[in-house]
Each structure stands twice: as C-alpha cells, then as structure tokens.
Amino acid sequence: MSNKTQKTALITGINGQDGSYLAELLLSKGYRVAGIVRRSSTETQQRIEHIRSKIEIYQADLLDQSSLAKVLADVQPDEVYNLAAMSFVPTSWQQPVLTAEFTAVGVTRMLEALRQSCPTAKFYQASSSEMYGKVLEVPQSENTPFYPRSPYGVAKAYGHYITVNYRESYSLFACSGILFNHESPRRGLEFVTRKITDAVAKIKLGLQSELRLGNLDARRDWGFAGDYVRAMWLMLQQDTADDFVIGTGETHTVREFVEIAFNHVGLDHQKYVVVDPKFYRPAEVDLLLGNPTKAMKTLGWKPDVSFNQLVTMMVDADLKLHAQTSKENLSKVA
Ligand code: NAP
Ligand code: GDD
C-alpha cells in the first residue's frame, strides 16, 4: 500500500525492455510501482524477475477496455507510462491489423480508461522515431512532419496524435515522447543490435558460425535504454504536458555497429557476416537522426552512454550469458 507522500506509477509493458529499466528507476526514487502484463500460459517475466517482490503485477490487455479501466481504478496511479505495444517493425507487415489494435487503438483505450478512472494522473505515451520514416528533414525534431514507412510507424503516428488530441480535448496531462532507437543487454533478440551482439558472442565461443543480416546501410540514432527511461520520467515531472524528441544526435550504420562488435572480440566481421535479402523490408527507413535540443534545454536531459560504450556493453553481456550457459550445459553432460 502507498503512504500519502509516496507517488504511485503504473507501467504497461513492464515486462519489456523499457518497462524493466523504468521500474528500476522509479523504485530507486521511492515510487510504489505497479505494472500491467498480459496473461500467458507460462510465467516469462525474465526482465523483472530481480525486482518482482518490490512491484505489483496486474493482468490486463491493451485489447480489453474494461481490464484497463479496472486496473487504473484499483491502482489509482499518479503517473501512467504506456509502454506496451507490438514493437517489432517486420511483424507489423505480417500482422498489420493486430499491430493497429495494440499499438494504435490500444492508446485510445488507455486514455479512455484514464479519463474514467483517474483523470488527474499524468500520462506518458511511447511514441517513436519510426513515425518520421522516409524523413522529410535531417535531423528530426518535434516539428518535423511524419512519413511512416511501416504499419507499425502508421500505428505509432495514430498513438501520438490521439495523445495530443486528448490533451487538447480534455486537458489531460498527456505527453508523447518521440524516442529514437534505444538498446541494452535486455533488448529482444530479433532487433538488429541484439541479434548482432548475441551472434558475436556465440561465434567467439564457437557456438555459431555465421551471422545473416539484411540492410547494412540503414542508419539509426542509437542510445542506451537506461538513459531514455530517465527522459520519460522527466517529462512527467514538468508543470505542463508537452512532446519531446529523445535521441543522441548521432547516426550510425548497421555496418558500423557490426564492425565495432566484432572488433571488440578480436574477430574480422567479413569472415562471418552474410547479407540475406530475406531480412530486407518492404519499405525501409534509411536514416534516422534525432535533434534532442528541446529535451536538453527543457528537461535538462542528456544521454550518458556513448555509441561505442553501448555496443561493447551489449557484447560483453552476451559473452557472459553464453559462457555461463555453455558451462552449465557442460556440467549437465559430465
Ligand atoms: P518491448 O521490449 O517489445 O516491450 C513491449 C511490451 O509490451 C512487452 O512487455 C509486451 O508484453 C507488452 N505488450 C504487447 N502487447 C500487449 C498487449 N496487448 N497487452 C499488454 N501488454 C502488451 O518494447 P520496448 O523496446 O521496451 O519499447 C517500449 C515501448 O516504446 C513500445 O511501445 C515501443 O513501441 C516504444 N518504442 C521503443 C523504442 C526502442 O528503440 N526500444 C523506440 C521508440 C518507441 P510481453 O512481454 O507479453 O510480450
Ligand atoms: N531486425 C533486423 N534484423 N534489422 C535488420 C537486420 C536484421 O537481420 N539487418 C539489417 N537490419 C536493419 C533494418 O532494416 C533496420 O533498418 C535497422 O536494421 C534497425 O532494425 P531494428 O533493430 O529491427 O529496429 P527498427 O529501427 O526497425 O525499430 C526499432 O526502433 C524504433 C524507433 O525508431 C524498434 O525498437 C521500434 O519499436 C522503435 O519504435
């Protein structure tokens, strides 16, 4: 139970990469932290296992309006962070309708639930640089028009605009954080950065022989997830609700990420990387580069982890993970 001065936060997608870092940050600030997970037949809350006893978990689904309203009414949060979504861009071409239900209309369901159950709570929407798509300006700021290139990007643009609309229609404290790509050792294995660092570690340990990738020329503004959840929190500590771009202001190709990762373990990437058109996308986002000036000035936010530090942190974490797993497998055989 919360005491009067303690703030309560509710996080949808608490079991995701960002949800787990945000929960840690809010616990460190003394918050009561509640999270929403969708029902699953197995308990797979790996990313929050280490803080499980300190947080409250509720079952609800972005597809189910009444489940969201009930959790918000029960928890009575001061701050709501809507991080849940179908977040993998290629899947959005395979499941476009479901992507729209989760990633677009799911935001309206959250906002409606908030309006009914706790209208004074502050709301954060996880918007995305994927909305800039075929970019109309370089670098991209809060004023750059959107040109999404995937069903995911289109769904996120809806989520952004409905957040702005509910702020303007109902005077809700609702912010949209337009976050550029952010990664960590907790990143899902299908995203390019983690796919690379996982493979580099396995190749180094003799557990894998090649790495098949798609477009090596795509450019992204990559930062560290731990830095980015701090920006989410800062947005909800302001006096007025607003929208902010969060990025590093640097862009790198997938090829550069590959080179640094392989170099870090003393391997030549050219011997292991195979370009496989299977991983090309129907419509690609070629270049993302954020302009976080507004966030730096207004929120006092800046990233602490550099691109090189991010790559090597992820490779080191995967090396440790796979070395440990190999050791455990060997001891089972012995
Ligand atoms: P993630 O690791 O894929 O986490 C997404 C979470 O949403 C998962 O825990 C997932 O649950 C949950 N979820 C999905 N569908 C749901 C549903 N119908 N009901 C309830 N929960 C559901 O993503 P992330 O990297 O942490 O990103 C967090 C948010 O920021 C997402 O909205 C993403 O689109 C957005 N974003 C991410 C980035 C980035 O670079 N990471 C950049 C911009 C915006 P399960 O654990 O059950 O799958
Ligand atoms: N996933 C993947 N797998 N991507 C590859 C591969 C591969 O084998 N080879 C090259 N790429 C390229 C993709 O074509 C894309 O241009 C780039 O690597 C990054 O892909 P992802 O890591 O899958 O991320 P994303 O940029 O599509 O989307 C991420 O960032 C968005 C913010 O811009 C996700 O986290 C989204 O949820 C987020 O909104």
For 132-187, how does the pLDDT look when each residue is reduced to its tens digit (9 = 90+)?
Answer: 999 999 999 999 999 999 999 999 999 999 999 999 999 999 999 999 999 999 99
Among the atoms of ligand 1, which is closest to the Cα of residue 225? 41
Same domain as 179, residue 256 = no
Is position 198 within any domain? yes
Is position 235 within any domain? yes
Does residue 333 surpass a pLDDT of 90? Answer: no
| CB of 26 closer than 8 Å to CB of 93 | no
pTM: 0.97
Q: Among 179, 185, 216, 151, which residue's Cα sits nearest to residue 310?
A: 185
User: Looking at residue 203, which CATH number applies to its domain?
Assistant: 3.90.25.10
Q: Which residues contact 324 (CB under 8 A, 6 or more apart)?
A: none
Burial class (CB in 10 A: 0-12, 13-18, 19+), 272: middle
How far is ligand 2, taken at its centre, from the CA of residue 223, in Å?
A: 13
Token duo for residue 1: 């139970």
Burial class (CB in 10 A: 0-12, 13-18, 19+), 50: exposed
Is position 69 within any domain? yes
User: Looking at residue 108, which CATH number applies to its domain?
Assistant: 3.40.50.720
Residue 328 has what pLDDT? Answer: 74
Q: Which helix (H) or strand (E) holds 295?
A: helix 293-299
Residue 324 has what pLDDT? Answer: 87
Is position 280 within any domain? yes
Q: Which helix (H) or strand (E) holds 243?
A: strand 243-246
Among the atoms of ligand 1, which is closest to the Cα of residue 40? 47
Among the atoms of ligand 2, which is closest to the Cα of residue 156? 39
Which of 3-12, 181-190, 219-228, 240-249 bottoms out in mean pLDDT, i.e. has the lowest?
3-12
Rounded-to-integer distance, Cα 205 and Cα 265, Å: 10
Confidence of residue 37 (pLDDT cuts 50, 70, 90): very high
How far is ligand 2, taken at its centre, from the CA of residue 142, in Å?
A: 21
Domain span at residue 310 reads 192-220+251-284+306-327
Q: Considering every ligand atom, which ligand is closest to the CA of 18? A: 1
User: Angle 151-170/106-117 helices, nearest 10 degrees?
Assistant: 20
Is position 262 within any domain? yes
Same domain as 164, residue 108 = yes
Residue 41 has what pLDDT? Answer: 86
Mean pLDDT, residues 82-109:
98
Residue 3 has what pLDDT? Answer: 60
CB atoms within 10 A of CB 59: 12
Rounded-to-integer distance, Cα 223 and Cα 304, Å: 9
Given the structure tokens 């960590």, which residue do they identify?
Answer: 184
Same domain as 276, residue 232 = no
Report pLDDT digits (tens) over 282-295: 999 999 999 999 99
Rounded-to-integer distance, Cα 258 and Cα 84, Å: 29
Same domain as 239, residue 275 = no
| CB of 16 closer than 8 Å to CB of 87 | yes
Rounded-to-integer distance, Cα 31 and Cα 233, Å: 12
Residue 42 has what pLDDT? Answer: 84
| CB of 261 closer than 8 Å to CB of 194 | no
Does residue 276 surpass a pLDDT of 80? Answer: yes
- Give φ, ψ of 156 to 5 degrees: -65, -35
| CB of 85 closer than 8 Å to CB of 103 | yes
Does residue 1 surpass a pLDDT of 60? Answer: no
Percent over 90 (pLDDT), the chain: 93
For atom 32 of ligand 2, the residue with the nearest CA is 181
Q: Among 39, 98, 104, 99, which residue's Cα sits nearest to residue 67?
A: 39
Same domain as 210, residue 147 = no
> Residues lining ligand 2, CB < 6 A?
87, 89, 128-130, 180-181, 190-193, 195, 213-215, 218, 220, 254, 279, 281, 284-285, 288
Same domain as 152, residue 204 = no
Is position 77 within any domain? yes
Rounded-to-integer distance, Cα 199 and Cα 310, Å: 16
Is position 296 within any domain? no
- Domains: count for the chain: 2
Rounded-to-integer distance, Cα 213 and Cα 131, Å: 23
Same domain as 262, residue 132 = no
Bridge-based pairing of strands 243-246 and 174-179 is parallel
Same domain as 137, residue 78 = yes
User: Among 87, 89, 94, which residue has the most ligand 2 atoms within 8 Å of its CB, making it the best to mutate?
Assistant: 89
Active site residues: 128, 130, 152
Same domain as 197, residue 81 = no
How far is ligand 1, taken at its centre, from the CA of residue 232, in Å?
A: 14
Is position 316 within any domain? yes
Same domain as 66, residue 137 = yes
Query: C-alpha distances in angstroms, 128 versus 37, 85, 246, 249, 309?
Result: 21, 11, 9, 15, 23
Q: Which residues contact 270 (CB under 8 A, 6 or more apart)?
A: none
Same domain as 270, residue 240 = no
Same domain as 172, residue 43 = yes
Given the structure tokens 């993998």, which residue do they identify?
Answer: 88
| CB of 238 closer than 8 Å to CB of 315 | no
